[in-house]
Amino acid sequence: MARYESISDLDIHLNGCTVFRLDRNRQGGGVIIDGDEHSPVKRVLELEFDRNRVLEIKFSSYKFFIGTYYRRPGESHEQVAQFLNVLQRSIDVAYT
């Protein structure tokens, strides 16, 4: 997906945070997660499918995953079911 070129990371950057974004297209929309730049946060590309972002956070021996998904306004039931399939796929990959 193309980055919405009129909005740079600097425009949405919060001090002390790392920006993880997924822009929809030139018509706007998308998702963003700001992670603390001093925490062990990283993207997990193998868990990202379609329109989602997944981050891994490690604390001691614990590992957490945080995900976000862009849902277009007015999506049909079939599109929501497709999202649930994408979510299940991410979960399945995370546990293998």
Q: Range of 63's domain?
A: 9-94
pLDDT in tens, 2-57: 455 677 777 877 788 888 877 776 666 777 777 777 777 888 888 887 777 888 88
User: Is residue 35 one of the residues assigned to a domain?
Assistant: yes
Put simply, whether the predicted model's pTM sits higher than 0.75 gets the answer: no
d(CA 21, CA 53) in angstroms, rounded, equals 8
**pLDDT score recorded for residue 14:** 79
**pLDDT score recorded for residue 56:** 86
CB 53 within 8 A of CB 67: yes
pLDDT in tens, 61-79: 888 888 887 777 788 999 8
**pLDDT score recorded for residue 2:** 47
Residue 86: CATH number of its domain: 3.60.10.10
Counted domains in the chain: 1
Cα distances (angstroms) measured from residue 32 to each of 4, 55, 67, 81:
12, 11, 10, 23
